[in-house]
Every structure is written in C-alpha cells, then in structure tokens.
Structure 1
Amino acid sequence: MNQKALKTLEYHKIIGTLTEYATSDAGKELCKRLVPSTDYQEIVQSQTETTDAVTRVRQKGGISFNGVKDIRPSLKRLDVGSSLGILEILAISSLLTISARAKAYGRHEDSELSEDSLEEFFRVLEPLTPVNTEIKRCIISEEEISDDASPGLRQVRRLMRSINDKVHTQLNSILNSNRSYLQDAVITMRDGRYCLPVKSEHKSQVSGMVHDQSSTGSTLFIEPMAIVKLNNELRTLEIQEQKEIEMILADLSNQLMPYLEELETNYVTLANLDFIFAKAVLSKHYKGSEPAFNTKGIVHIKDGRHPLLDPEKVVPISVHLGRDFDLLIVTGPNTGGKTVSIKTVGLFTLMGQSGLHIPAFDGSELTVFDEVFADIGDEQSIEQSLSTFSAHMTNIVNILSQADSRSLCLFDELGAGTDPTEGAALAISILSFLHNMKCRTMATTHYSELKVFALTTPGVENACCEFNVETLRPTYRLLIGVPGKSNAFAISKKLGLPDYIIEDAKTHLEDKDETFEDLLTHLEENRTTIEKERVQIESYKREVEQLKNRITQKEERLDERRDKMIQDAKEEAQRILRDAKDTADQTIRQINKLSSDSGIGKELEAERSRLRGKLQDVDASLSLKKEKTRSSKEIDPKKLKLGDGVKVLSMNLNGTVNSLPNAKGDLYVQMGILRSLVNLSDLELLQEDSVSVSNAGGSSKKVGSGSGISTTRMSKSLSISPEVNLIGMTTDEAIPQLDKYLDDAYLAHLPQVRVVHGRGTGALKNAVHKHLKRLKYVKEFRLGAFGEGDSGVTIVSFK
C-alpha cells in the first residue's frame, strides 16, 4: 500500500491511538508496524481475531500484558551457556507470571463454549510454574536474594550477622569510652569497613587505621584496631556471599536452559495477544463492528462515522459502490462533508484491511483492494515550484499509471485550480479512463458537466451532500442518486446580496446551464417531498398497527365475556334443573308414602321414572356442552409428554398419559387400574395441581394434601421408582434415560430421587452432574453419604 495514501487519509493517527492501547513494549511495536494487507485470508483471520478478542473483553473484562520485556538477548546468552543476572532472571519470571495469568484468562468457564480463533494463542503458552516458583523463592527483588535460596548462603549470612553484632558491640564500647575524642557519636562506613569519626587533634588517642577524612580535615574516619580483624572476616564473608549468589543465579540459569524454545514462544505469543487485544479496545473505543469482506469489488458502508471526528457531532453516512456502479461523483457546497465522505471510505478500507473494526453499523461490507490512491487536499509545493493544479496533476498522472481494477481511487475537487471548462473536460476524461479500467472511484466536484456525465453514463452515479438553504448549513447527509446543486444564488440572496445583482448574474448563465440547475432544483424539491411523505406514511402505518392491535384485544375481551356469560347461564340452568329434580323426587316419595295402600303406587313410580329420565337427559346435554366448551382448546401432540395429567371426556375420568399419540392421534391413558386407548380429541389437559387418581369404581379423588393421601400427590407417583440405575450405560445412552426419569419424578412430586451411576472412571458421574446443573427444577444435588452409596450415587432434590 503506497505511503502517500496512508498519510493523506491520516491512517497514522489511527495507528497512534491503537499503540496507546497496547500495554507492553513488544505489543506497541507490533501496533506501530501494522499496515493494510492485501491477502483476503489474512484479512479475514485478523478480523476474526479482533472480533473474538472483543467478545472476550465483553465477557471477562480486559487483560494487561504490562511487564512483558524482550528476553531474547537473555535467551541467546543462555543458549551459549552463560549465566544470567538478577534483572534478566526477574524479566523471565515476569514473563512466566503473565503467561500463567493469560492462560487462566483464556480458559473457558463453560466447557461447552466453542473454541475461537484465539484458542491456539492461549494453548501454546507454557507458564513453567515449577521454575517460576523457584525463581520467586530465591530472588526477592532486584537487589536482594533470599536467605533460603541455598544452605551455603544462609550459613554465610548467619555468620555475617553474628560478626556484625560483634563489630557493633565493640564500636559502641569504644564510642562510649572515648566520646570526647569523637566528632559525632555515630558509627560510619568507609570503603565497606566500619569506622568512627575522630577529631583530628585526638587521632593519637584512638589507635587504628585511617580510611578517610572530611573535606575540612577536622574529622578523620578511623577503623579501631580492635575491630580490624572482625572487619576482615566480614569482608571475607561478603566475598563468599557474592560467590553463593553467583552459584544460585547459575543454578537458576541452568533450570531455564531446557526451556529456551518455550520462553521465546511465550514472548512472541504474549506480544501478539497484546496487539490483538489492543485492536479490541480500539474497536470498543470507536464503537466499531467487524466488516464483511469480499473479492467482488463491492463496498457498502452502513452509518459510517469518521473515527477522527467528534463522535458527538459526526453525522453517519451510508455509501455503496461496486454493485450497480463503480464510479460515484459527489457534489455539494463547500464544508458540506464531501471530503469527509471520500476520506471515510478510504480510511475504512485501510482499517478493515489492517484487521481493525470500523465505526459503522453491523453488516457493513468492504472489498480487498491491492492499492488505495488518494488525491485530497492542497498539494501545492513551494520546494518544487508547483502550483496547486500542477501538483494535483502530477499526483493524478502517477495514479493513472498504477491503477487497475483492484484499486480504489479517491479524488477531491478533480480538475480544480485551472480554467473551469478545461478542468471539467480533463476531469471527465480522467474519470472515463478509470471507469473503463473498472477502478472503484469516488470524486468530489463543483462542475455541472460532471453531474451530466454521471447522469448519462452507465455505471456512474451522482451523489450529493445535503444542504439546508434556510439555515445556510449543511446537514452532512450523503444522498446517493441525487446530484447536488450549486445553491450559490440562494446562499447569496440569504446573505443579503441585492436581487438585481442576482438577476443580472442569471442572465450570464447559458440556457443549458440554467435549465440543468432548474432540473436539479426540481429533483431536490421532489426528493424532499417524497422524504416527508415517506415519514408520514411510516407514521400512518404505526397508527394503523396500533389501532389494529387495540381492536383485536377488544374483540378477544368481548369473546371472553360472551363465553363466560353463556357458561354462567348454562350452570345456572343446570342448578335450577337439579333443584327441580330434587323437589320432584321428594314430592313423589311423599306421595308414595301417603298412597302406599291406595293401589296406584305402580303408576306413580312409572311417572316418577319418566320424569327423572327426562331431567337426566337435559342435565347430560348441558354437561356434554360444558365439557365441549372446556375442551375446545386442542392438545398439541408435540407438547404432550409421558406422565401428563389428562381428563377423558367421554368417561369423565382423570388419568395420566401412558404412551405418546400415533399418527391418528390415538394413545393409551392410565386411569387407576384401567388402561384405555383414546383419541386426542377426547382428552383435556389438566393443570398439574388438579391431576387425580381414579379408583376401580370409576370415581376419582383429587390428589393433594387435603385428599387424605399422605404418601403421594399424583397418580403417576404410584409407578415411579425413587431411584434410577444408569450403571453399564454410555453417556449418550444415560442422559436421555435420566432426563425422562427426572421429568416423571418431578411431575410425580417426589421430593428427592437417587441416581445410581457407579464409580468407574467418573465420566458418567461428571456427565450426570453437568446435566443436573442445567435443569431449572432441580434444587440441589450431592454425592451419597455413607450408607447411601457413597460416590457411586447422586442424591437429587427438586424445587
């Protein structure tokens, strides 16, 4: 990718921001070296890595790689057998610590989560925990080695402390007995030896070796003869201490030597992860999304926001190029956003091909370009004595010599800086050449000739940056398919230029120019009108949808009220008939009693039977209608499960589903001891708390705490075992069996059950526990206690 385009499109500013988000020197260096790629597979892989890093940051938070230092020079020293210093070993220890932290960050808490593109980076990290632990045990800081690093070092330092104590005891004794000879009552160090500050006039009073004197000569620093021997021993022990430290560092270096390859892999991997996660943080900063890439030359940016503009003020633009047209000519007034539009397309292309997310709406699409050329801004060069036009033309000549069908060309004010007529003609010729070359091209212009060129040439499209003449402000919206008009006369009039000057200016326009401007004005008015009507239509559609929803809800409420009224009326009628029947029976029994001796008993009994039969027929008719009303909602055979409570309408009995329905809708229902084949149309699904147990006599009792049955709450529980045995099954066989059993046990309201899975390798136990974690109706589970089966069973409690 040519450097001029990178500079013109301000790609380096994006890289500067990216570099700030890297936390290690190695990661920052990778960020600085990032350039757009032209390899499709490499781009897609890089984008996928950025997306996966964004996902991990969103789920787990960020990760820091601060502390990763370049250990490669130290590894080369290890490779030739040299020992490392404290700082070098601590740098390796820091690298291993960060490797361990990164590897833990990379692990999935849920093992069922699919692996992403970063999985391999985390997998190859080797924390070398035993070696790192040994380093941390031996080295406390950059200046201190632990006493416990080796027995020899511990012994030497113990002796040093003992001698130090003796030296201080001797010096304190001398200090206290000769205080008048001393300049200060302190013990000092000179050349690594303990001394006393003696006044120069009393130096003969204190025997010993003079090691130093003050700048004025009034104080001599004398090592008393009494401690010379102790100081000598201390110096000898310090030399031994240094040798012990060198042996410790050599030992640690030897422990690191077998892992040179792993250490270098860790360094490179952590640098790459830091780089990738910096891209993720940049995406979060810009509120970016992953663009889809193609090799067909199609660009489609949805609500793109230039990343270097104020995110609170920037107006999103939508641009498409390469599908219906490959040349887009953008027109409009100055400061209207034309340059920003073409810069956005160019910068998004560079960012996307660098593996960076773009600040645009999801679903945006970019294509892979081998080169991006940009001629934007003031190219005037004082050093080369080039005018603006000459500088632009020199750049354009270079672009034309290199551009091909896999290039993106961006031109700002093409043909400007010279005679308008000649400039427009040159611009049309340049764009025609690029159009014939199948280059994807965007150009901004003020020339009306280019607007006409776009209108009359297939594969070329107009676009404009919208401008509000009333407020004299651009809206920065990019409208594709609409050529922009100059607005010079309207703006001048709004600013107070006299009408007669404007009218005189219009007379200098050629008829074709005036006609074209009128056409653009007419198109703009039509576009504005259509836009307003579209907004109104959307508003009307929302209102109609709301009215429709309200009417539908009202009809549903009316239907519910009507059904309830009919049901209430039927129930009232049934109650009245029952009262009448009871009254008639009572009356007939009374008459029978009174006329038992009159000889008309048989006729009365026959009449009573006829009346009772008629009342029962009416009652049965009402009951049947009531049952049909209740069962009007058909049962969905796909949602029916074994053990569901149902009511058989034709028998007026409750039961449980004993088999799933066949193609005709027939299934077996268990009603107490009776098992019968019935059709779905003759069933009504019962609520869980109303499932009843039918006895042999055909009557049914509602199962519950108030039914007098203490050992069960549902009829299904009569046949549910309190345990399920999965021993001998594979995981794939056991889990469906377990799932069905737990459903049945839960529907049967068993408080807890026992799952027998055995000990074995533990695979079946782990699969059972993982499955139990997903079931919402499982309150808790635990391994069995002593006497319950120990770790061979799991006790499950339901909510």
Structure 2
Amino acid sequence: MRERDLFSLDFPRIREILASFTQTPLGREKALALMPFPNREEAEKEFSRLERLKDTSYSLSGIEDIRGILIPLKEGMTLSPQSLLTIRTTIASLMELRKIPDDLGLNGLKNLLSQGEELAKKIGAVIDDFGEIKLDSSPLLRGKIERQRNLRNLLIKRLEGIRKENPELFWQEEVTIRNGRYCLPLKSSKKGIFPGIVHDLSESEKTLFFEPLPLIDLGNQLVRLEREIEEEKRRILSELTNEVVGKREILLSLLDFAAIIDLLQAKISFARAFRGTRPIFTDNNSLEIIGARHPLLLLKGEENKEVVPLDLKMVDKKVLVVSGPNAGGKTCLLKTVGLISLLSQCGIFPPADWVMIPFFDNIFTDIGESESIEESLSAFTAHLLNIKEILENSSDKRSLILLDEIGGSTSPEEGGALACALIEALKERDGITIVTTHLTLVKFFAYNHPEIMQGGMEFKGRPTYRFLPGLFGKSSALEIAALLQFPERILKRAESFREEKFVSFSSKIKELEKEIGEYQRLNQRLKEKEKEIEEKGSLLEKRWREWEKEEKRLRREMIREKEIFLKESREKLTKVLTEFRRLQEKTFPDKKIEKKLMTRSEELLTELRAEIEKDREKLRRDRREAKVGDWVRILRFEKEGEVLEIDGEWAKVLVGRLPIKVLRKELEVMEGEGKNLPNQLRIDRETLPPFSPILNIRGEEKVFALEKVERFLEDALFYGCKEVKLLHGKGEGILRKAIWELLGKDKRISGFREGRPEEGGSGVTIVELK
C-alpha cells in the first residue's frame, strides 16, 4: 500500500495505539511497522492464532532488546559482565514462551528455548545477579583470589606492626591505598627517618602516604597477583562471549518469536478495548458492515456526543455514491470502511458488530486536501494526478477505492461530468468503489444506473451522522450555515439566489425520504416481530436448560451414592477378609481360597469403580470445557467459583476469596448460574475436609501406591501445600524407585529429595510443590 493511503486512513495513529498495548521494545517495533498481510490465507492464520490465545496471557516485560549487544558481536570480542547478565535475564524472561501452545505454528520454538536455556546456565555459572564475575568461576581464579586475600592480610598486618613499633612517626589512622599501593599515614615532619616511598600527599600537607621499604617487595607481589586475576577474568569472559557468538542466531530468533507473541497479545488487547469482531472474508464483491465504529472517534469520546455506528451493506453493487450535508459524516464513512478493511487485512479484529468483506489486493484513497505548494499544483490538479495513479494501479486487481468529494475543486458542470465518467470506468473493475459528492449531476447519474448504489447522510435540522441507503442526501449548505449562526441577512440573500431548476430536485428528494421513512417503519415492525420470536425461543431454551440442570444433578447424586457404596463395600470386604484369615488360622490354612476370595472381591470393586467412571465420563461429555471467566462447580468438593487461569489440564478457580488449583476434568460449567447469585459462595480452609501433608504407603502394592500418590498430590495442590512427605519404607527400594520415576515426570513438582536422618532417611521422600 501507498504511504499516503495509510496516512489518509489514520493508520499511523492506529499503529501507535496498538504499540501502546505491547510489553517489549521488539513488539512495539513490530506494531509501529505493521502492514496488511499479502493474502487472505495469512490473515486467516493470524485470526486463528488470536482465537487460540484470547483466553491466555504471557508476561514478556522482562525481555530486553539485546540486539544491540548481539548484532555487532564478533569472535575475539569480550562482553562486559553487565552485558552478559542482561543476556541471561532476557533468556530467563524468554522462558515464558514455553507456555505457548504447540499448535500455534511457531516451528522450532521449544528447541530454540532449550538451547537458549543452556547458554543462560553457562552465564549464570560465571556471572552473579549483580553483574559481577563469581569468585569460583574457575579453579585458577579461586586459587588466585585466595592467595590475594592471604597476601593482603599479611601486608596489612606488617604495616600495622611497623606503625605500632614507631608511634611517633605515624598518625593513628588505618592503612590506606594510594595508586594501588598499601600505605601508612606518615607525619610530614618525620619524613626521611624511616626508609620507604611516598605515593601521595594530603591536602593539608601534614600527612604523607608512605610505603615502608621492607614491604615494597610484598606490595609488588600483590600488584602482580591482581594483574593475573584480571587476566583470568578476561579469559573467562572471552570464553563466555564466544559461547554467546555461537548462539547469536538462536537468540535473535527467540527475540523475533517473543515480538510475534507480544504483537498477538497487543492485538487481543486492542480488540477488547474497542470491542472488535472477527471478520469474514468473502470470495465476491459483497460487503456488509454492521455497527462499525472508528477507533479514533471512540478514543476522542466527546462528552454528550455518542459515536454513531455505521451500518453498510453492498450486494451485487460495485460502486456506492454517498451524498449529504457538509460535516454530516461522509468523509468519516469513507475512513471507517477503509480502516475496517485495513485492520481486517492486518489480522486485527475491527471494531464492529459484524464484518463481511472481500480481501482486497490494494486500498486506494483520495481523501482530504491534496494541494501541493512545493510542486505548484492546485487542489484540483493534485486530486486528478492521484486519481490517475489509482486508475493505472487498480486495473487488474481487486481494489477498494475511496474518493472524497469526487469532481470537486472546479466548476460543478465540468467536475460533475468528469466524476460520472470516472464512476462509469470504475464500476467495470474488480473491487469496490465508494465516492462522496455534493454534485447534482453525479447524484442523478447514480440514480439512473441500477448497478450503482446511492445513499445519503441523514439530516434532521442538524446532521445525525446516520447513513441511509437509497437516500439522496442534500448538501444543506444554508441549514449548516444557520446552525453556525451565520449572519441572517446573508442567509436570506443566498436563499433568493436559489435557481428554480433545483426545486424539482428537492421535491424528488423529499419523495424519496418519505419512501425511506415508510420502509424504516416497516423494518421496525419486522424487528419487533423478530424480538417476540427470540423471546419465545429464549423461554423454550431456558426450560430445556432447567431440565438439563436437573438431569445432571440427579446423575451427580447417583455417582455420589455409588461412591459411598464403593467405600462402604471396601470397608466391609476388608473386615470380612480379616475375619476369614483369623478363622483360617484356627482351622486349616488354604492360601488358594484366600487368594480366590481376594481376587473376586477386587473384581467386584473394579467393576463398580468402572461403572462410576463411566457415569463421570458421560457427565464430562455432556458439558463444555471450562474457560477463563466461567462460573464452575468443583465436583469432588461440591464447591463453586470463577475460573481465573487455564494451564493445560489444570485450572485455577477463585472460590470465595481463596484461589485453588484443580484438574479441569473436575470442573462443571454452571451455565447461567453463579454470577447472578446475590452473594457469591465463600470458603475458608477450615470448611474443607481435614488434610494431612503426610502419606503413608508402606507395604502397599506398587500399582495402588502410585494411584494413591497421584490423588494425594492433587489434594495437596488443592489445599495449597508447598511441601509434603511420602512414607514408603526402605525395603528393597522398589516402591521408592517407582515413586521417584513418577515424581520426575510430574510438572506440578518443583523438586523432591530423600529424607534427612531426622526425617526418616531413605524410607521417606520429601516433595516440593509449585
């Protein structure tokens, strides 16, 4: 697109608004350089990404623009510790991208993040959080620093000894450093008494900073050692810099991915701020825009002045001629249609209730004053040259052409004739053309051509800014002048100059306005009838939902009763088996009978568990997946709350004032419930069933033990525990190994370890939860 067309449609300002929603310098840069996608497929892919991410949020504010560090970097260069720290912290912030769904189409992202993380670990092993080289970065550096510390302490000790032995020569001040040498404060009057070197003089000249001769060799050793330490640090930084050079392209790619995600999130925020909707791209020249609002008018938000939405529908019409009063909204209509199209093709939800438009190869405009003083062009000449360029570049492409005041800036007769010829040529081309005009000739030309649509901006004593299809809009110049309190004498004289030939035209307009009024009344009756049908449909839908709700309640009640029966059956079977073993010991032991009885018992319990799970699965299938903002019921605890976050198979739910983490499959969406209640459900930790952070699974079979651990961890997360204890015993270590394998794969766990001797040693595992 031409820059002048982007400027005419206020797109640079839209870019700035979009950039204000970004979190990173790179995302802002992309927003300010935003251009339309080259084809419909790319735009559709962008909208799919936005739909995928609209309920998520990623924190990217810690990502700095490190391209200034990376791009100039070459082999042999050495980065400062502070630059390396900036790279490390940026990589750490980039790890937020791990949460990005795999189906977003960012190929290779996870692999790049792994390589970036390796580099961050290497930097972290050398550079601390303050941008300083760690003392243990290498064994050689650690050894030299230790020698430096010992040598410095020895030197200071000997200096203090000399001062104590000669108190009359030195001031009672601490050892100080001058020009890199350790010195004593020597009284100026005592100069020459003790052999040594003076390195500096105080401002009062009463003190000489003096290095005793016997300690000069020790001082030289310290200086040499400090140089060796600096050389080792430079070597370490050089090696680390080479690592960065090797990963430069990876880091640049990650920065680009971050900018893409940042821009996507900014587009989502833009859509929320301006109530955008996903557009539908058509294969023909049909255009339908309902409730469109220009973002800049929404931002302006003048008091007592509501933004009038635009409704425009063009079917089987390639040209629209818009007329109407001055300052009545004709130019705003052009800009709104152009901007809605431009935003759609940039992958931004346009601010409207409904948008169905073609995907244009180009958008051309001739809007506003085009007079060029530098090139000595009149307004008319500048407009003509621009339109000529549009004609030359739109002949073989589907274009949206927006021409403001076509045929203006010259005599109405000649300007009107030229405008009619232009419209006639443009209606033969692929695409859509919308023009505005005050010229009578152009209005009649549009009226006499069925393939040209005409419409006007409504005027009821003053502009209403509403577009009315099929209406001839009067310019209403005298009425506008009266509204602006123009001198009455001049207005009356202007009225007398009106030619008789315009009377018939005005009466024609009034006839059309009368017909349109009748059409609008009929349309209003149809809308009322449609509303009545919708209300009846809503009532039927409400009754259906109530039936569904009751059916689900009964099904949940049935599941609860089966669970209670399962629990009671397990307890009874346990008692029966215990009694059976006791009787066997007294009579005759028969392991086969005992095993057969246990197997059959487990089979019965398994069948009942499967039946319960089948009921639960049916309940899950009948309900939709919970999303952020939904009011849900937590099935296991029969508590209700609002979904705050969704993270894979987990969800964070606010129950009262308590945020809790649960599996998504444990949630049931409460359609039309919850938020409409007068008081939201409140919950405290004390109202929940008691929970112990210790699980004893000693002597359990591996399969049952692992199942218990899984359930225990879910409960621990629900109750907000940060650390729990698993008692599995020592034995042969089989159960411990199986549990550690399970914990190693669990993303909910930040770490685990063997218990310390006082905690139970190897028979205990301590688990830390995220």
TM-score by length of 1: 0.63
Distance of 1:44 and 1:742 partners within structure 2: 35
For residues 235-260 of structure 1, give each alpha carbon's deviation from its aligned partner in whole angstroms, at most 9, with x where no partner exists: 12212222332343355456667756
Asked if the contact 2:278/2:349 (under 8 Å) is kept, the reply is yes
Shift, 1:396, TM fit: 1.8
Distance of 1:265 and 1:72 partners within structure 2: 15
Distance of 2:612 and 2:464 partners within structure 1: 65
Residue in structure 1 matched with residue 42 of structure 2 by the alignment: 42
Asked if the contact 2:288/2:313 (under 8 Å) is kept, the reply is yes
Residue in structure 1 matched with residue 332 of structure 2 by the alignment: 340
Asked if the contact 1:65/1:274 (under 8 Å) is kept, the reply is no
Q: How does 1:171-182 map to 2 (within 5 A)?
A: 171-172=159-160
Shift, 1:219, TM fit: 5.8
The alignment status of 1:306 with 2:306, answered yes or no, reads: no
Asked if the contact 1:464/1:479 (under 8 Å) is kept, the reply is yes
Change (3 A) 1:265 1:172: same
Q: How does 1:683-762 map to 2 (within 5 A)?
A: 723-724=602-603, 738-739=613-614
- 1:236 alignment partner, one of 212, 224, 244: 224
The alignment status of 1:383 with 2:380, answered yes or no, reads: no
The alignment status of 1:393 with 2:377, answered yes or no, reads: no
- 2:428 alignment partner, one of 426, 436, 439: 436
Residue in structure 1 matched with residue 503 of structure 2 by the alignment: 514
Shift, 1:530, TM fit: 5.1
Change (3 A) 1:392 1:771: closer
For residues 256-306 of structure 1, give each alpha carbon's deviation from its aligned partner in whole angstroms, at most 9, with x where no partner exists: 677566444433322332333333333333332332223423332221211
Asked if the contact 2:326/2:480 (under 8 Å) is kept, the reply is no
Residue in structure 1 matched with residue 92 of structure 2 by the alignment: 97
Distance of 1:39 and 1:481 partners within structure 2: 33
Alignment size in residue pairs: 600
- 1:457 alignment partner, one of 446, 449, 462: 449
Asked if the contact 1:463/1:484 (under 8 Å) is kept, the reply is yes
Q: Secondary structure at the match of 1:140?
A: coil
Shift, 1:441, TM fit: 1.0
Letter in 1 for 2:56: Q
Letter in 2 for 1:524: E
The alignment status of 1:324 with 2:324, answered yes or no, reads: no
Shift, 1:37, TM fit: 2.8
Q: Percent identity?
A: 28
CA RMSD after TM alignment: 4.9
The alignment status of 1:155 with 2:143, answered yes or no, reads: yes
Shift, 1:63, TM fit: 3.9
Shift, 1:73, TM fit: 3.8
Change (3 A) 1:207 1:514: farther
Distance of 1:742 and 1:22 partners within structure 2: 42
Residue in structure 2 matched with residue 106 of structure 1 by the alignment: 100
Residue in structure 1 matched with residue 359 of structure 2 by the alignment: 368
- 2:132 alignment partner, one of 141, 144, 152: 144
Change (3 A) 1:133 1:509: same
Q: Secondary structure at the match of 2:472?
A: coil
Structure 1 residue runs without a partner (length 5+): 109-114, 557-635, 645-686, 692-703, 705-709, 713-720, 745-751, 753-765
Distance of 1:278 and 1:544 partners within structure 2: 40
Change (3 A) 1:379 1:771: closer
The alignment status of 1:476 with 2:465, answered yes or no, reads: yes
Shift, 1:140, TM fit: 0.8
For residues 440-470 of structure 1, give each alpha carbon's deviation from its aligned partner in whole angstroms, at most 9, with x where no partner exists: 111111122222222211221122222230x
Distance of 1:485 and 1:264 partners within structure 2: 58
Structure 2 residue runs without a partner (length 5+): 566-570, 574-599, 620-635, 637-649, 651-661, 670-688, 713-770
Distance of 1:296 and 1:461 partners within structure 2: 17
- 1:135 alignment partner, one of 119, 123, 136: 123
Q: Secondary structure at the match of 2:177?
A: strand
Asked if the contact 1:190/1:211 (under 8 Å) is kept, the reply is yes
Distance of 1:403 and 1:371 partners within structure 2: 8
Change (3 A) 1:725 1:276: farther
Distance of 2:83 and 2:601 partners within structure 1: 65
Q: Secondary structure at the match of 2:136?
A: helix
Distance of 2:293 and 2:192 partners within structure 1: 87
Distance of 1:447 and 1:177 partners within structure 2: 110
Change (3 A) 1:81 1:523: same
Asked if the contact 1:784/1:791 (under 8 Å) is kept, the reply is no
Residue in structure 1 matched with residue 341 of structure 2 by the alignment: 349
Shift, 1:348, TM fit: 2.3
Letter in 1 for 2:140: G
Q: Secondary structure at the match of 1:739?
A: helix
For residues 16-67 of structure 1, give each alpha carbon's deviation from its aligned partner in whole angstroms, at most 9, with x where no partner exists: 33334333343333333322233222222233333433x1xx3346543522
Shift, 1:538, TM fit: 5.4
Q: Secondary structure at the match of 1:382?
A: coil
Distance of 1:268 and 1:546 partners within structure 2: 50
Distance of 1:179 and 1:310 partners within structure 2: 83
Q: Secondary structure at the match of 1:133?
A: helix
Letter in 2 for 1:101: E
Change (3 A) 1:15 1:74: closer
Shift, 1:185, TM fit: 3.7
The alignment status of 1:296 with 2:293, answered yes or no, reads: no
Q: How does 1:427-576 map to 2 (within 5 A)?
A: 427-469=419-461, 472=462, 474-491=463-480, 508-528=497-517, 531=520, 535=524
Distance of 2:249 and 2:425 partners within structure 1: 55
Residue in structure 1 matched with residue 703 of structure 2 by the alignment: 791
Distance of 2:90 and 2:44 partners within structure 1: 30
**191-200 vs 419-428, greater mean Cα deviation:** 191-200
Change (3 A) 1:787 1:220: closer
Asked if the contact 2:310/2:467 (under 8 Å) is kept, the reply is yes
Residue in structure 2 matched with residue 14 of structure 1 by the alignment: 14
For residues 446-504 of structure 1, give each alpha carbon's deviation from its aligned partner in whole angstroms, at most 9, with x where no partner exists: 122222222211221122222230xx3x2222222222123345556677889998787
Distance of 1:432 and 1:514 partners within structure 2: 27
Letter in 1 for 2:40: Y
Distance of 1:74 and 1:14 partners within structure 2: 30
Letter in 1 for 2:6: L
Asked if the contact 2:320/2:433 (under 8 Å) is kept, the reply is yes
Distance of 1:544 and 1:260 partners within structure 2: 63
Q: Secondary structure at the match of 1:274?
A: helix
Residue in structure 2 matched with residue 414 of structure 1 by the alignment: 406
Distance of 2:253 and 2:136 partners within structure 1: 31
Q: Secondary structure at the match of 2:297?
A: coil
Distance of 2:537 and 2:282 partners within structure 1: 43
Shift, 1:93, TM fit: 2.0
**230-239 vs 292-301, greater mean Cα deviation:** 292-301
Distance of 2:316 and 2:167 partners within structure 1: 102
Change (3 A) 1:410 1:256: closer
Q: Secondary structure at the match of 2:220?
A: helix
Letter in 2 for 1:514: V
Residue in structure 2 matched with residue 747 of structure 1 by the alignment: none
Distance of 1:19 and 1:500 partners within structure 2: 52
Distance of 2:493 and 2:482 partners within structure 1: 13
Asked if the contact 1:412/1:445 (under 8 Å) is kept, the reply is yes
Greater gyration radius: 1
Asked if the contact 1:196/1:223 (under 8 Å) is kept, the reply is yes
For residues 580-630 of structure 1, give each alpha carbon's deviation from its aligned partner in whole angstroms, at most 9, with x where no partner exists: xxxxxxxxxxxxxxxxxxxxxxxxxxxxxxxxxxxxxxxxxxxxxxxxxxx
Shift, 1:100, TM fit: 1.9
Distance of 1:206 and 1:73 partners within structure 2: 56
Residue in structure 2 matched with residue 606 of structure 1 by the alignment: none
